[in-house]
Amino acid sequence: MKKISSHTGRIITLLLPLLLTQCWWYSFSGTSIHPDAQTISVSYIENRAERINPALSNILTEALMDKYTKLTRLSVTQEGGDYSVSGEITGYTIAPMAVTSDEVASMTRLTVSVRIVFQNKLEPSENFDKSFSSYEDFDSAMSFDAAESSLVDAIVEKIVEDIFNATVANW
């Protein structure tokens, strides 16, 4: 067996703690959570849009809590977390998109906008207050009531992914 040179041994000795520290800070799920962070509080996302979907606040809040629970080591709390996510739904709009030669909309778009306030008690420089928005199009021949549930699910999934990435993935 080949003997490791003392020079190589010193390099390994110096780099190993650095590598172990980096692995602690960055996880394999793509998150970059402060090593001292233990909790995240997710406040109920109030619906302040002009047009209201009564279930949207619950769906969005639960989806956020599930995302943090499944993909991070953080415990979700009601308040006082090392990280804090709060916000409000600011828009829930339906608009015609593709217009046919008969001047009839063939596609309609549902857009949901959310304002999120993120606070990081351990790294205040990462705090932000910003808006996230997503949309889904559907065939205008289908009634909005029939399409709404699946549209909302798809939109919430995209928005939650964007919020998650902005808060703990730093992408």
> Going from the N-terminus, what domains does the chain have, and what CATH number goes with each?
37-169 (3.30.160.150)
Yes or no: say if 166 and 130 are a contact pair by the CB < 8 Å rule. Answer: yes
Give the number of other CB atoms < 10 A from CB of residue 131: 11
> Average pLDDT of 111-138?
97
pLDDT digits (tens, 9 = 90+) for 31-45: 679 899 999 999 999
> Average pLDDT of 77-100?
92
> Average pLDDT of 144-148?
95
Q: In this predicted structure, what is the pLDDT of residue 19?
A: 47
Residue 12, pLDDT > 80, answer no
Calpha distance 94→109 (Å, rounded): 6
Name which of 11-15, 83-87, 97-101 the model is least confident about: 11-15
Give this prediction's pTM. 0.80
Yes or no: say if 98 and 106 are a contact pair by the CB < 8 Å rule. Answer: yes
> Average pLDDT of 129-143?
95
CA distances from 66 to 69, 103, 111, 161, 166 (A): 5, 43, 23, 11, 16
